[in-house]
């Protein structure tokens, strides 16, 4: 998970059914909210993230090790010098208001849930210049408070590292294991 400038790390986004471990079965998972994104590699180039094999750490449990294996010049960073750079994207999901029905439609927009839109953004478009391939252990539980006062675990922060914006500002790059 990357925390984008001005954002805070969270798992408050619209959840989804997603094959997180690449076994062909979709599980209900939480998703990052505003100000965050998941680092992904659309390996088959179809414009969407199909399963956990296109995320870092979802299958192996160590996203930083996966990044390090792609550091072709062994400088400790994934950047424009690494062939994989242009293939990496940030995956976000956004809630949008449902479109109002046309005047010829008999359907009512009342009660229509908001639509969820997936966005894939290139690292260049996001202004990101480099991703560190190393992280340190930073165990932390992301929880969501329920109406009855209980809380559900949404994910486990495992490790944290940094990324650099093109202008040199740092940001948080984190390995978060999503709760299934």
Of the given ranges (8-17, 22-31, 122-131), which has the lowest mean pLDDT?
Answer: 8-17
Question: Contact 144/11 with Cβ under 8 angstroms?
Answer: yes
Query: Per-residue confidence at 180, pLDDT binned at 50, 70, 90?
Result: confident
Of 140 and 13, the structure prediction assigns the larger pLDDT to: 140
Owning domain of residue 138: 2-97+114-178
169 within some domain: yes
33 within some domain: yes
Burial class (CB in 10 A: 0-12, 13-18, 19+), 82: buried
pTM: 0.86
d(CA 112, CA 24): 30
104 within some domain: no
122 within some domain: yes
144 within some domain: yes
Q: How many domains is the chain partitioned into structurally?
A: 1
102 within some domain: no
108 within some domain: no
Q: Tell me the per-residue pLDDT of 20-49, one tens digit each, with 9 for 90 and over.
A: 999 999 999 999 988 999 999 999 999 999
Percent of the chain surpassing pLDDT 70: 91
Residue 57, pLDDT above cutoff 70 = yes
């Amino acid at each position: 998970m990357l925390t984008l400038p001005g954002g805070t790390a969270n798992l408050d986004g619209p959840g989804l059914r997603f094959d997180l471990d690449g076994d062909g079965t979709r599980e209900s998972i939480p998703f990052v909210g505003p100000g965050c994104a998941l680092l992904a590699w659309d390996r088959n180039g179809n414009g969407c993230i199909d399963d956990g094999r296109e995320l870092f750490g979802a299958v192996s449990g160590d996203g930083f090790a996966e990044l390090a294996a792609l550091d072709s010049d062994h400088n400790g960073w994934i950047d424009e010098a690494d062939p994989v750079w242009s293939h990496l994207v940030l995956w976000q999901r956004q809630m949008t208001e449902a479109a109002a029905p046309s005047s010829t439609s008999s359907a009512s927009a009342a009660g229509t849930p908001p639509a969820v839109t997936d966005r894939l953004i290139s690292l260049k478009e996001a202004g990101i210049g480099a991703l560190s391939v190393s992280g340190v252990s930073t165990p932390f539980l992301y929880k969501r408070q329920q109406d009855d006062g209980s809380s559900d675990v949404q994910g486990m922060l495992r490790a944290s590292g940094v990324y650099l914006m093109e202008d040199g500002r740092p940001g948080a790059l984190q390995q978060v294991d999503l709760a299934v």
